[in-house]
């Protein structure tokens, strides 16, 4: 009974943890806990869920996160969910929201030579702080944080993954790990063209495998999602 209570608490208790100054990882319950959001200075949010939560329109807004600083990406924690299609847009949004809160981006050559974590670097005064969350804060949201840190600092996937896991228990799914590997191999750009109509070969291979799996399940497009609002 005690073990069941602990598991229940892990799923439903609001949790968030700072990964680097300006970026917090959390679960969906944390996204509408007014006092927790205020105490941690959260003023922007990325939500990676299959449905919108009604509390975002009340409690979350009252905590100081306006709709203009809240990005919702409808996605599932599934073996066919494509996050690569959203990664650059989400990373751009995080950059815009955090502004000078994160350490300055290093030149490409300097970044590639960097082997230690981000904790050793000085940080500017806070300008914006973003909560990045999914339902449990275990797979989708850590995937996006890893992708963001890789792009911003040119960090290797395994180094970045280890860094995030030191801060918070995270376990991106095999599907999302594959996408992060593609993200790294393609230098954070999965499209051949600016219009984003021609996938690069590695991304196209992923899309082909995804289409095969979806077809096996009788689906011809994206995942099945929950109702738009919860």
Active-site annotation holds for 91: no
146 near 157, Cβ under 8 Å?
yes
Give the whole-angstrom CA distance, residue 142 versus residue 119. 18
Which is nearest to 133 in space by CA: 224, 42, 67? 42
3-state secondary structure of 18: strand
N-terminal to C-terminal alpha carbon distance within the chain: 29
118 near 22, Cβ under 8 Å?
no
Which is nearest to 167 in space by CA: 30, 12, 26? 26
Give the whole-angstrom CA distance, residue 66 versus residue 63. 9
Catalytic residue among 16, 134, 138, 170: 134
- Nearest-5° Cα angle at 13, 9 to 93: 140
- Catalytic residue IDs: 134
């Amino acid at each position: 009974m005690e073990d069941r209570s602990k598991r229940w608490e892990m799923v439903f208790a609001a949790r968030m943890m700072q990964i680097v100054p300006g970026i917090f990882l959390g679960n969906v319950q944390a996204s509408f806990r007014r006092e927790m959001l205020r105490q941690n200075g959260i003023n922007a949010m990325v939500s990676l869920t299959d449905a919108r939560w009604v509390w975002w329109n009340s409690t979350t807004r009252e905590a100081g996160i306006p709709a203009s600083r809240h990005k919702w990406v409808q996605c599932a924690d599934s073996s066919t969910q494509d996050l690569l299609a959203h990664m650059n847009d989400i990373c751009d949004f995080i950059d815009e929201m955090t502004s000078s809160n994160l350490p300055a981006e290093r030149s490409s050559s300097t970044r590639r030579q960097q082997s230690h974590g981000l904790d050793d670097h000085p940080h500017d005064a806070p300008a914006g702080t973003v909560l990045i969350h999914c339902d449990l804060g275990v797979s989708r949201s850590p995937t996006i944080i890893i992708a963001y840190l890789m792009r911003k600092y040119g960090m290797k996937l395994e180094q970045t993954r280890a860094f995030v896991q030191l801060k918070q228990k995270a376990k991106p799914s095999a599907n999302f790990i594959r996408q992060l590997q593609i993200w790294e191999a393609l230098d954070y750009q999965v499209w051949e063209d600016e219009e984003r109509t021609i996938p690069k070969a590695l991304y196209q291979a992923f899309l082909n495998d995804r289409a095969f799996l979806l077809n096996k399940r009788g689906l011809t497009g994206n995942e099945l999602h929950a109702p738009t609002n919860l």
